[in-house]
Chains A and B, each alone.
Chain A
Amino acid sequence: MVHVSATPVLALRGVSKRFGAVQALTDVELEVHAGEVVALVGDNGAGKSTLVKTIAGVHPIDEGVIEWDGKAVAVNKPHDAQNLGIATVYQDLALCDNIDVVGNLFLGRELKRRGVLDEVEMERRSRELLETLSIRIPSVRIPIASLSGGQRQVVAIARSMLGEPKLVILDEPTAALGVEQTAQVLDLVERLRERGHAVILISHNMADVKAVADKVAVLRLGRNNGVFEVKTTSQEEIISAITGATDNAVTRRAARSNAEAQK
């Protein structure tokens, strides 16, 4: 943890979300500070994606409060979230295979000079951005189709950085990546933290979570199931929080006898 501010960049207070008869989120609390990586973990259907989408403005919340820099805000549209400074990188990458790296980075917000695309300025800024993030790709002028999965993921993350967001949400950035590619993405996550961005990282991979996250927020069946400091928590504890194994009598008994044995 580099430098953590007192007021969280983003705080969710008692957020609930229903889809018809399904209660997707119930009284969820979450705090993210600047320069902090919070991993959001949970089993399939725990509500991770729904939670992220409420923050990103895709699904407006039903109850509760979203606080941004300590002030309550309304996030009803993806546009609202973007205006606040929230960038979301979804699992399916949302890049165009046939367009080059520069074109993808600036897709939908092309720089223009006298009404014409300013390729020179876009390329210069792309290089600058990739350089500050220490991203290595073969060339900024080759189509995305030529890049490996890891390179595509870093380009997608870099794309989210163009708007200088305060909070970056990464939805399973290392799923389907190889060992080295995963390392590249995790390096990039650390660099985001060093630059003072708040990061929410959704992951199924405990090794990744242990490697880069400062805190782990566990969701289970749409509710909070604990927030852990990564440094002081074992992988087993997190997993049992995810699977709900902490809730049964056997684990409680095991935990009790363990504690007594240690005294």
Chain B
Amino acid sequence: MSIEKTDKPHAAVDAPAAAGDASVAIDPRLLVREQGFAGYISEFKRKMRAGDLGATPVVIGLIVICAIFQSLNSAFLGAENLNNIFVAMVATGMMSVGIIFVLLLGEIDLSVGSVSGVSAAITAVMSVTHGVNEWVAVLAALAAGAVIGALHGFFFARIGAPAFAVTLAGLLFWNGFMLQILGSNGTINIDSDGVVGKLTTYYFSDVAAAYGLALVAVAAYFLTAFLGNRRREAAGIPSRPMSELVLRTALLAVAAFGVAIMFNQYKGLPLAVLLFAIVLVGSDFVLRRTSYGRKIFALGGSVEASRRAGINVTAVRVSVFAVAGLFAAVGGLFWASKIAAANQSAGSGDLLMNVIAAAVIGGTSLFGGRGRTWNALLGVLVITSIQYGLALQGIATPIQYMITGGVLLATVVIDSVTRKTQKSAGRA
């Protein structure tokens, strides 16, 4: 890759009329992006001033959290602790991906905790108590999650009941359903060498796995960005300068290989993290690159506009709740794998709150239409880091709850304040 390309003139003026006709003076109100790297920085400054913070606050927050815990206990950034954080976050993170789909519609799903419990219970009862093949049991649990979600979606989208109330009813009902199928003894232990057991205990011990994944991720990112850019140039529309592309790829490479080195210092690449990465990339692709994803964003922006554009509002809503149910079931399996059992407390306690908090802390708007599934990764990293950092200090759950609550409040405050700034800057 040649760095000299940056000096080539790019169609950086982002004004349709001015681009084609040089004799027309550029309207001073138009956003004119400077060329090259300086343009990237000035664009970033403009976004910050306008309150378009994106993921910046949560990244800064994560750095602060790491710095504080590392100064309190040098084991925090050790390979073992970081590895444990990464594996532990996957259960909550998977459910958070599902809830982000619902939040993008501007709705809420309160039932994901209970549905995750149902999924764990179904798998355990089928495979352990009744001796069904574990793969079949897992598929049945995932299907049950999707069907339960679709059922909630039906009551919301078709009958017109508020999603809040429908899923609150679901929270109670499915928790009771789980207790019922678990039966009198309450806890069913899962074979830790089985399909579900291995979800969080399997590691690719070969060092090539983690490095290979990092390499594939970086190369794939660079290639898609580079080819996309080439197509944009060929079509004569503004493209990112090469320097920006290289910088982004370099940042990603540092992060990916840093994490890979960390995994390899412990037991290698965890299967759970690989699966979470696949889900994140896949769901991000669906949301931003397919017309289905575009429909979800459209519904989050304006239901009436979507309807007039010919979008089947009911179908999209039902499907989104089914997606949330499916990911809740996936999260339930990871949760069961972590504690090697399906028990009565599955899906209760602070799980639901952590799932929603992770999505919001990561930068997903509660008002719909704004967010990405990567928010789940950032948010759940923050929450799990706090949990593990405090556990390392021997600080008990009550303090954990209060600190997580404080972080959530801080996030929502930042969100509300930036929204005001965005309004005054005309970008709300």
In the complex, which of the residues A107, A109, A121 contacts B305, with contact meaning CB atoms closer than 8 Å? A107
Interface residues of A in 82-99 (CB under 8 A from B): 90, 92-99
Stretch of A29-37, A122-130, A169-177, A192-200 on the interface side: A122-130
* A146–B426 touching, CB < 8 Å: yes
Contact B29 A108 (CB under 8 A): no
Query: Is A96 touching B16 in the complex (CB atoms < 8 A)?
Result: no
Interface residue count for A (Cβ, 8 Å)? 39
- Residues of B contacting A146 with CB < 8 Å? 426-427
B248 at the interface (CB under 8 A from A): no
With an 8 A cutoff between CB atoms, is B235 at the interface?
yes
In the complex with contacts A120-B231, A145-B428, A130-B294 CB distance below 8 A: no
- Chain B: which residue is nearest A144 at the CB level? B301
Cβ of B290 and Cβ of A94 under 8 Å apart?
A: no
The reply on B304 being an interface residue by CB < 8 A is yes
Q: Which residues of A contact B235 (CB under 8 A)?
A: 120-121, 123-124
- Chain A residues contacting B294 (CB-CB under 8 Å) are 99, 103, 107, 110, 117
A127–B16 touching, CB < 8 Å? yes
Q: Is A142 an interface residue (CB 8 A)?
A: yes
B383, chain A: closest CB distance, angstroms? 26
Q: Mark each residue of chain A from 99 to 139: 1 if its CB lies under 8 Å from any CB of chain B, else 0.
A: 10001000111101001110011011011001100111111
Known A-B contacts: A94-B305, A116-B289. Give 19 more (CB < 8 A). Answer: A94-B308, A94-B309, A96-B298, A98-B297, A107-B294, A107-B306, A107-B311, A108-B298, A117-B291, A120-B235, A121-B235, A136-B30, A138-B14, A139-B15, A141-B14, A145-B422, A145-B427, A145-B428, A146-B427
- CB of B305 within 8 A of CB of A96, answer yes
Q: Is A135 touching B298 in the complex (CB atoms < 8 A)?
A: no
A131 to B19, CA, bound (A): 9
Whole-angstrom distance between the Cβ of B5 and the nearest chain A Cβ: 19
Contact bitstring B288-327, A, C-beta under 8 A = 1, else 0:
0111001001101110111011110000000000000000
**Beta-carbon contacts under 8 Å, A42-98 to B:** 90, 92-98
Contact of B30 among A107, A124, A138, A141 (CB under 8 A): A138
Which chain B positions have C-beta within 8 A of A139? 14-15, 30-31
**A14 proximal to B (CB < 8 A):** no
* Interface check B232, CB cutoff 8 A: yes
Tell yes or no: A143 within 8 A of B by CB.
Answer: yes
A219 in the interface, Cβ–Cβ < 8 Å?
A: no
Taking a contact as CB atoms under 8 Å apart, the answer to whether A142 and B31 are in contact is yes
Q: Is the CB of A92 within 8 A of B311?
A: no
Q: With A and B bound together, what is the CA distance between A108 and B290 in angstroms?
A: 12
Interface residues of B (CB under 8 A from A): 14-17, 19-20, 27, 29-31, 228, 231-232, 235-237, 289-291, 294, 297-298, 300-302, 304-306, 308-311, 368-370, 422, 426-428
| Cβ–Cβ < 8 Å partners of B14 in chain A | 138-141
* Docked complex Cα distance between A92 and B303 (Å): 13
Pairs A–B under 8 Å by Cβ, sample size 12: A94-B305, A96-B300, A96-B301, A99-B369, A103-B298, A120-B235, A123-B235, A126-B16, A127-B19, A127-B237, A138-B30, A143-B427
Cβ contact within 8 Å between B426 and A96: no
Contacts of B427 in A (CB 8 A): 142-143, 145-146
Query: Once bound together, how far apart are the Cα atoms of A131 and B18, in whole Å?
Result: 9
B428 contacts A124, C-beta separation under 8 Å: no
| Minimal beta-carbon separation of B34 from chain A (angstroms) | 14
What CA separation (Å) do A146 and B31 show in the bound complex? Answer: 11
Contact B27 A136 (CB under 8 A): yes
Counting chain B CB atoms within 10 Å of each CB, the highest count among A95, A107, A137 belongs to A107
Contacts of A123 in B (CB 8 A): 232, 235, 237
Q: Which residues of A have CB within 8 Å of B298?
A: 96, 99, 103, 107-108
Flag if A120 contacts B232 (CB, 8 Å): yes
- B228 & A120 in contact (Cβ 8 Å cutoff): yes
Closest to A138 in B: B31
Q: Quote the shortest CB–CB distance from A59 to chain B (angstroms).
A: 15
Most chain A CB neighbours (cut-off 10 Å) among B17, B30, B31, B290? B17
Question: In the complex, what distance in Å separates the CA atom of A16 from the CA atom of B167?
Answer: 47
Contact A140 to B16, CB < 8 A, known contacts A96-B301, A97-B369 = yes
B31 contacts A98, C-beta separation under 8 Å: no
**B301, A97: Cβ atoms under 8 Å?**
yes
Query: In the complex, what residues of A have CB within 8 A of residue B311's CB?
Result: 107-108
| Given A94-B302, A115-B290, A137-B16, A99 contacting B297 (CB threshold 8 A) | yes
Decide: A97 near B302, CB < 8 A? Known: A115-B290, A117-B289, A136-B27: yes
Least Cβ–Cβ distance between B420 and chain A, in angstroms: 14
* CA gap between A199 and B308 in the complex, in Å: 20
A138:B302 contact, CB within 8 angstroms: no
The smallest beta-carbon distance between A109 and chain B, in angstroms, is 8
Docked-complex contact B309 and A107, CB < 8 angstroms: yes
Could you tell me the distance in whole angstroms from the C-beta of B16 to the nearest C-beta in chain A?
4
For the complex of A and B, 3 pairs with smallest distance between CB atoms? A96-B301, A108-B309, A98-B369
How many whole Å from B115's CB to the nearest CB in chain A?
Answer: 28
Question: Does the CB pair A98–B310 fall under 8 Å?
Answer: no
Measured between beta carbons, the chain B residues less than 8 angstroms from A115 are 290
- How far apart sit A19 and B19, CA to CA, in the bound complex (Å)? 51
For A120, list chain B residues within 8 Å (CB). Answer: 228, 231-232, 235, 237
A124 CA to B370 CA, complexed, in Å = 25
Name B288's closest neighbour in chain A (CB-CB). A117
Q: Which residues of B contact A98 (CB under 8 A)?
A: 297, 300-301, 368-370
Q: Specify which chain A residues have a CB less than 8 angstroms from the CB of B228 in the assembled complex.
A: 120
Provide the residues of chain B in CB contact with A142, threshold 8 Å.
Answer: 31, 427
The minimal Cβ–Cβ distance linking B260 to chain A, given in whole angstroms, is 28
Closest beta carbon of chain A to B191's beta carbon, Å: 40
Contact A136 B304 (CB under 8 A): no
What distance in Å separates the Cβ of B51 from its nearest Cβ neighbour in chain A?
12
Considering the complex, give the chain A residue whose CB is closest to the CB of B50.
A146
CB-CB nearest in chain A for B106: A98
Q: Which residue of B lies closest to A102 (CB)?
A: B237
Given contacts A96-B302, A145-B428, contact A136 B290 (CB under 8 A): no
Do B236 and A134 have beta carbons less than 8 Å apart?
A: no
Contacts of B19 in A (CB 8 A): 127, 131
Query: Which of B17, B301, B368 sits near A130, CB closer than 8 Å?
Result: B17
Q: Tell me which residues across on chain B come within 8 A of A112, comparing CB atoms.
A: 291
